[in-house]
Structure 1
Amino acid sequence: MSSRLCFKLALGSILLWWLALPLAWAGPSLGECHGMKNLVFVAHQDDDLLFMNPDIDQVIDAGGCVQTVYLTAAERGEGVRYMLGRARGVRAAYALMADSNDNWTETETVYGGKHQARFSLNANPRVVLVHMRLEDPWLGKGWGSLTPLSRTESIAGTSAKALGSYSESYTRADLVATLAAIIADYGPTVIRHMDDSISIPYTSLCWRCIGHDHPDHIASARLVRDAIRMAPGDYAEAAYVDYPTQERGVNLTAAEIAAKTNAFKRYAQDDYQYCPNPKQCNEPAGTAAAWVGRTYYVVRRNESPALIKTGSNGYLLFTTGEQNSAANVLASDNAQADKDPGWESLGGRTASGVVAFRWVDGRAGIVTRDTMGRLWINTQKTGAGWQGWHSLRDMHSMRLPLVVSLSDGQPAFLLQDSTGALQYCSGVLPDDYVVGSCTAVPRLKGFLTEAVMAVNADNLISVFAADRSGRLWVTSQNKADPQTWYPWRHMASIHSSGGLAAMRDAGGQMVLFWRNQANGNMMRTDEVVKPGGQRVWDAAQDLGFSYVGRPSIGLNEHGYVTVAALEQAGSSLMLVEKQGMTRLGTGVDSAPALCAVDNQLVLISRSSDASQKYWVWKRVAGIWQAPRLLSEPPHAGGGSYAPLPVPAAGEAPRAFTGTPSVPPPAAASGPI
C-alpha cells in the first residue's frame, strides 16, 4: 500500500470521526451517575437482558447511569411492527429493573450524519436506550449465511440499511465512527459489549454448536472494539460470553436469577416469537432458561497470571479462568517438581485479572475487581484454605489496582477512581478490610492507563505514567509530608507509548523500563547518585527488541532487578537481567509472572494452546530446566461475590460457599 493511499485512508477516518461528533455533549454528569456511567452495546433487543444481567440491573439499583445502544432492528425480516414490539419490550424490562413506571420520552440523536431513536426513562433519566435499527434478516437460508450487520463488518464495499423512518445506510467505516462518537459523547466509566473473540467464520457458525455464537453478536463486538481504539478514554471494558454460556455451569445466586428472569419475562411479553399470548408467557424456557442462570466474561488470553513465593520454598500461581470467570490458585512445592499440582477455584465473578501480594505475617492475599469497579480481597487462613471474599470498603477502581510491599511489609495499592484520577491507598489490614488512608495523586491530563509505582530510595512511593502524546512523567510522595505529592515532573528526552515497569535495585536506586514510541523497543534508564547526593537518570539504553503489553518486573535469585516481556502474541519471552538478555520459549500468549523461589528463578506465562495452559520456566543453579506445561484451571467454581460480614473478634470469617444448585434447562428448538 502506498504512503499516499495510507494518508488518504487515515484522513478519511479522521473526517468520519469529526463528522460523527454530535453538536452538543448530552451525556449525564459523573455526579448525576454516582460515579457509574455504563455504556452498553448489543446487537439485538434481549442480548443485554440474557447475557449482561445482573450487572446492568445492579448498576441501576446502585443509582448509576446506563445507556444501551442496540445496533440492529432485530426484526428478523418481519418488518417495523416486530421491531417496535421488541423495542417496547426492552423499555418495559428496563422500567421494571428501575422500579419505575414504563413511561419514556423519545427524541432523535444524530451521530455520523445518521439518525438514531433515543428513549429516556421519565422517572429515572439516568436510564437511556438508543436504537440504530439496522435491518436484520438472514441474507440466506438462516444459519450459515450472513446478516446485513455481519456482512458489512466483514466484506468491504457493503453497507447496512436502517429500518423505519431513518432509511439511511451505514458502511463499516460509518458504523465505527458512529459508535466512537457515541463513546466520546457519553464519556463512560465502563463499556460493556458482546464477544469479539470467536474466530469461527460467520458462514460456518451454527445453532447449538459448541463454542458458536450469532454472527451479529460477534460483528457488533468487533465494531465496538474498533470504536474504542478510535475514542480512547478513562473507562474500563467488559466483554460478555453470549450463546456459549449455556455450555457452562450456573454461576449466579438464586436472587440474581430471579431478578434476571423477571426482567427477561417482562420483555418477552412484547415479543410474539417468545410469547404469542402475553398473558400465558412461560419464558424463559429452553436456552433462555440456561442463559438467565449464567453470566460469564471474555477473559483475554494475554491476561498475565500472578505469582508469589510461599513460605515452603514453593509458589502460588493465580489466574482468572477463561472458562469460569473466577479467581483460581495453583500451589506448587519445589520438592515435588515432577508433580502437576491441582488447581483450586476461589470463586468470584470477574472480567479482570488477579493481583497477588503477601501480608506482613507472610500469608498470601489476592485482589480482584468486579465490573462495577468494586474491589474484593481474599486471604489465606493461618492453616490451610482461604477465608473467602470480602469487599474492600471505600475502594473502587476502574481497573485492577497495582500493589507494592512497603518497608514495613504492609501492602499498598494504586487504583484509578471513577473520575480517572489515581489514588494511593495504604493501611489495609488482613482481617478488617478497611482502608487506612487514601491520598489523591496529582492529576495528569491524558495519561495512559499503564501507570506504575515503586518504592524509591527514600522508602516512599514514586509513580510513573506516560501520556497520549508520548511524554513520560514521574511524581513522588513528599518527604516532608507523605500524605502529599510533588507535582508531576516531565522526564525530558523520553518518548514512550507505555509498557512501563519500575523497581528499586539492591543499591536503593530506581530502574525504569518503557516502550520507545518511535520503534516499539524496550528502553532502560537507571537512577544514579551524583557527587553531593543528587539523584539523576542516566542516558537511556535501547535494548534492541520490541514487545507488547506490560512487562513483569522483580528481583531474580541473585537479588538483581529483572524484567520479562512478551515479544508478540504467540511468540517468545525476553528476559532482561544484569548479565544480559535471554529469549525463552515459543507459543506464548501473555507477559509472564516471575519470582525468585529458593535460589531459583521461576517464570510462568499463558501458552498459545486453545485451552488455558501455562508454561513454567525454572532456572536452577544458573541452568534453565526443560519447560513444563501446566494443566488448565477448572471450568467450574465461579460465582457471584457474596459480601461477607466483618467477623467479630475471635470469629473466623465465613468461606466462599460456591454457586447455587440449579437443574439444567430443557432443550430449545431454535435460536433467539
Structure 2
Amino acid sequence: MSDIDEPSNGEHSPTEGVPARSGISRRALLFGGIAVGGLAAVGGGALLYREIRRSAGPEGTWVALSPIVPVPDAAPREPSPAAEPPGDDTTVAVWAHADDDIIFANPHLGAVIASGATLRTVFVTAGDAGRGLVYARQREAGIRAAYDLMRGSTAPWETREMTLLSGARATRFVPVDDPRLSITVLRLPDGNLSAKGFPTTGDAGLTQLINGTVPALEPVDGGPIFDARRLSDTIAELIHAGSPDRVMTNIPHESAFAHGDHPDHTCVGSLVRAVAPSVGVPADAVTYYIGYPSQHEPANVFGAALDAKVDVYEVYAAQDPVVTCHGPAACLAQPGFGQWLRRSYAKTDTELRLV
C-alpha cells in the first residue's frame, strides 16, 4: 500500500539503513498451528503519511479498469530463466506491494512457511511512493526481515538478476539456507492511492498501463520498459516458473470487495485472475485476499495469532521509515494498519461477488 506525503516536524523522516530488529520472536513459532476465523488477508505498503493520523484507514480511488489484454497464449512454454526447482505443496504469491502479504494474508502466510511448504513470492510494483529506488529497497529489506522471523532464521539472502523470456528484468532474493522460499521483484512504479501515479515516475502506474492511457511503464530501477503485453507475459511466466499447486494474490478489480482498495492491489488481482488459466492454474486454485476494505469486516485474528502477526509487521516496519512502530501497541494504534492486522479475509473465485 504505498502513498506518502513528506512528513512534517521531522517525525518518521525517511532514513537509509534503518536497522532491523534482531532475533527471532517466540511468537513466530505460533504461526504453524494457529486457527483464525477464516482465511484472510490484509495488504498494503507505505501510507500517505498524514493518513496514519486519521481515525480510519485510507481508501483508494475507484477508477474503471479495462479488461486485461492481451492475455498470454496457452501454448506450451519453454523453460524460463526464472524457473525454480519443484517443491512440495508450492504456493506462488503475486502481490502489488512488499507488505501486502504480511498484512492481508497473515496468519495464513506464516502457516505456509511454518509447514515446510514451498513459497514463491512476486511483488509487481516497487511500492516506491514516488521516492525512488532507495525507499523501494528499504521496503524489500523489511519484507526479507519479516520472512526471516516467520522462517526462524537470519541467514543471508542471495541476490540474483534475471532477464525473463518476456524481456523483463527481475531481481530475485533467495535465503542461502532455505531455497524453498524466494522473493522476486519487478519494481514497476507505484500507482498511488489516487491511481494517478507520482510526478517523479511520470504520473502513471498499472491503472494507466492497463487502460491504455500510457503506452509503457519504466521500472524504478531503470530496467526494460513494460508495455501491456510484457506485463501480462511476465506475470504468466513467473507463475508458471514456480510450478504452483495454488496461487495467492490481491482481490481483483472486478470483485465487489475491491471498492476502496488501493488501485495497484486490484490491478494485480485482475492480472493474476486473467493470466493464470493460460499457464494451467485452475480458477479454484487461486485465493484472493481483501485489502483495505477488510477494515469494514469483523475482526477475526485474535490472541496468539494476532501477537505473531504484529511481531512480523513490526519487523518489516523497522525498515520502512514511513510506518515504523515501536512495540505491538504502537503498531496496532496505526489507523488502517491496526484494523488490517486484526483481520484477514480470503475469497475463492466463486466468492468474489463479481460486478
TM-score, structure 2 as length reference? 0.70
Matches within 5 A, 1:221-300: 221-233=269-281, 236-275=285-324, 282-284=330-332, 285-300=334-349
> Match for residue 104 of structure 2?
51
Question: Does the residue aligned with 1:29 lie in a helix, a strand or coil?
Answer: coil
Question: Does the residue aligned with 2:331 lie in a helix, a strand or coil?
Answer: coil
The whole-number CA distance in structure 2 between the counterparts of 1:24 and 1:272 is: 34
Q: Deviations over 1:356-388 (max 9, x none)?
A: xxxxxxxxxxxxxxxxxxxxxxxxxxxxxxxxx
> Match for residue 195 of structure 1?
251
Question: Does the residue aligned with 1:160 lie in a helix, a strand or coil?
Answer: coil
Offset at residue 259 of structure 1 (A):
1.2
Question: Does the residue aligned with 2:226 lie in a helix, a strand or coil?
Answer: strand
> Match for residue 145 of structure 1?
196
Unmatched runs of 5 consecutive residues or more in structure 2: 1-68, 198-203
| Aligned partner (choices 212, 228, 251) of residue 155 of structure 1 | 212
Q: Which amino acid aligns with 1:170?
A: F
Matches within 5 A, 1:640-655: none
Aligned residues with identical type, % of pairs = 26
Offset at residue 216 of structure 1 (A):
0.2
Question: Does the residue aligned with 1:227 lie in a helix, a strand or coil?
Answer: helix
Matches within 5 A, 1:516-527: none
The whole-number CA distance in structure 2 between the counterparts of 1:254 and 1:80 is: 37
Distance 1:90 1:21, change over 3 A: farther
Q: Deviations over 1:224-259 (max 9, x none)?
A: 112212211468110111111100111123121111
> Match for residue 133 of structure 1?
187
The whole-number CA distance in structure 1 between the counterparts of 2:124 and 2:194 is: 20
Q: Deviations over 1:567-612 (max 9, x none)?
A: xxxxxxxxxxxxxxxxxxxxxx9xxxxxxxxxxxxxxxxxx9x8xx
Q: Which has the higher helix share?
A: 2
Q: Deviations over 1:486-534 (max 9, x none)?
A: xxxxxxxxxxxxxxxxxxxxxxxxxxxxxxxxxxxxxxxxxxxxxxxxx
| Aligned partner (choices 79, 100, 103) of residue 156 of structure 2 | 103
Matches within 5 A, 1:161-560: 161-164=218-221, 166-198=222-254, 211-233=259-281, 236-275=285-324, 282-284=330-332, 285-300=334-349, 302=350
Distance 1:178 1:103, change over 3 A: same
Q: Deviations over 1:265-316 (max 9, x none)?
A: 10000001112x879993242211111111112355x56xxxxxxxxxxxxx
The whole-number CA distance in structure 1 between the counterparts of 2:207 and 2:79 is: 26
CA contact (8 A) 2:311 2:328 kept: no
The whole-number CA distance in structure 2 between the counterparts of 1:210 and 1:90 is: 24
Q: Deviations over 1:65-93 (max 9, x none)?
A: 11110000111010111011000000000
Q: Which amino acid aligns with 2:147?
A: Y
CA contact (8 A) 1:153 1:223 kept: no
The whole-number CA distance in structure 1 between the counterparts of 2:253 and 2:224 is: 29
Offset at residue 157 of structure 1 (A):
5.6
> Match for residue 84 of structure 2?
27
Question: Does the residue aligned with 2:277 lie in a helix, a strand or coil?
Answer: helix
Q: Which has the higher strand share?
A: 1
Question: Does the residue aligned with 2:269 lie in a helix, a strand or coil?
Answer: helix
Offset at residue 116 of structure 1 (A):
0.4
Question: Does the residue aligned with 1:159 lie in a helix, a strand or coil?
Answer: coil
The whole-number CA distance in structure 1 between the counterparts of 2:329 and 2:305 is: 20
Offset at residue 29 of structure 1 (A):
2.3
The whole-number CA distance in structure 1 between the counterparts of 2:254 and 2:186 is: 24
The whole-number CA distance in structure 1 between the counterparts of 2:186 and 2:299 is: 33
Distance 1:144 1:173, change over 3 A: closer
Matched, 1:41 2:97: no
Offset at residue 25 of structure 1 (A):
7.0
Offset at residue 195 of structure 1 (A):
0.6
CA contact (8 A) 1:91 1:102 kept: no
The whole-number CA distance in structure 1 between the counterparts of 2:78 and 2:122 is: 16
After superposition, the CA RMSD in angstroms is 3.1
CA contact (8 A) 1:41 1:193 kept: yes
Bigger Rg, which one = 1
Comparing 79-88 with 99-108, greater Cα deviation is found at: 99-108
Offset at residue 167 of structure 1 (A):
2.3
Q: Deviations over 1:454-509 (max 9, x none)?
A: xxxxxxxxxxxxxxxxxxxxxxxxxxxxxxxxxxxxxxxxxxxxxxxxxxxxxxxx
Q: Which amino acid aligns with 2:270?
A: R
The whole-number CA distance in structure 2 between the counterparts of 1:281 and 1:123 is: 33
Q: Which amino acid aligns with 2:292?
A: Y
Distance 1:137 1:194, change over 3 A: closer
The whole-number CA distance in structure 2 between the counterparts of 1:126 and 1:210 is: 31
CA contact (8 A) 1:152 1:158 kept: yes
Distance 1:232 1:299, change over 3 A: closer
Distance 1:71 1:237, change over 3 A: same
The whole-number CA distance in structure 2 between the counterparts of 1:43 and 1:268 is: 17
CA contact (8 A) 1:21 1:185 kept: no
Matched, 1:84 2:132: no
CA contact (8 A) 1:75 1:137 kept: no
Q: Deviations over 1:178-217 (max 9, x none)?
A: 11111221110110011114568xxxxxxxx994111000
TM-score, structure 1 as length reference? 0.38
> Match for residue 124 of structure 1?
178
CA contact (8 A) 1:22 1:110 kept: no
Distance 1:217 1:137, change over 3 A: closer
Q: Indicate the structure whose relative CO is greater, using CA pairs within 8 Å and at least 6 residues apart.
A: 2
CA contact (8 A) 2:117 2:180 kept: yes
